[in-house]
Structure 1
């Protein structure tokens, strides 16, 4: 029997994921939120729209969640369990706090449900193309049941380990990328201070061993002015680095570099970079302004 799929959070990433799930022939039920455009588009393509979280649960064997973070996931799950069938799978594609994920997973297992963490790697463009990366934390049995559905929207599926391990790996991944963003921003500001323009900096780095895909999307804004080169908000970046700090605290480990990166994003958010249109590469402007630098 084909699994019935539910999806809550059909925004920048979720729209493409949901569209590709339908393209593989799965029946899809979605739950709308503030932005109606992606919801209306998916309904036009054949998705059903639920009127509530409980209605979404009743229509689904597997529910995907793409939400801002753990508090929202916990709130939605508390209502999903009121309507889910026995043995249903909840798939948290958010970047969540592994401490929360593990506690929530244990609670759900005790009620006859399964929680899978499947945070994403990639961009909205890759989501639309079905070429995301999924970092999955699940038991072998649950992973094997879920994988055919994930294959609909992911080009690369990595079974990282058991429940919670997907979110742990995602935070480590984001530690690297957001750490790079903080480093790039500070390096570019310092360069301007000592007479090295952004263009000259890029001439030296691009194509060298220090070049990488993240560098290129970051410089898509810092050098070329494309404000949408990496559509991931400063607010979400700060949230992820706080989750990293929580994970390090739970493990009893010092995390000084992570804290330094977190403080860079906290500075930007406190200076006004906390809206829906301020993305990771825009950190470069906040760091420059803080240091009295005009980038060229």
Structure 2
């Protein structure tokens, strides 16, 4: 982060502690939200200082976090942090006009899917009966959805050649045939290997489907509809009363990473989103860095210590 942002965030932290008497957790959350804004501004707007930022840049930031489809609560909290920061700058007479005054959460054209808590994710995953014929396959698929934030189309079209077990990455072909490298966790790898060794290696595979990872009983790649049905059955089995689809796992993946403290750029890269600005696309992040983000901030990995 540039020195101007760093300096003002330090002052903001002091203000929240001394003037507002906020808890340490609240102070950390507010400062982290401003740091994310700083990263976004530096990448997309030639490194403006916080005193030079206008409502245009703030609205662009809000649109970007909306595109990441974070939970409404997470978006609202982030915007609250930004607004508090600019109220502080006005209070200190560092800026004359508050550019965040009219900032609102994005009005989403469609309702976001329900977010699953980490506990609910675990319930669903651990409720899949591994003794049944397709249990290992279903567990491996849902582990991958949650571990890597894949789209349902990316899951059903995943091929053996796209899995790099040695480095823990998937080479995903996303929308518009754009490729990206996505890390996946130890649990996903564990169940993927069990599925391949215990189930897939013993199947009769239909001609033309040999490379697809996930197959139905007839040895052919799965359909989108089948994934929806598998998830519905898994959710019903553990009695969760939410409307859960494959996208819910992607949505929960992004929300849990951001809530855990992950860098917005890294989450955006893993989801396969381009920058919301037309003039610039986020620079591709170092592979080791993406792996570290997943290791440090994904709750499934923290569970494993």
TM more than 0.5: no
Greater fraction strand: 1
Larger Rg: 2
When normalised by structure 1's length, the TM-score is 0.28
When normalised by structure 2's length, the TM-score is 0.27
Structure number with greater CO (CA < 8 Å, separation at least 6) is 2
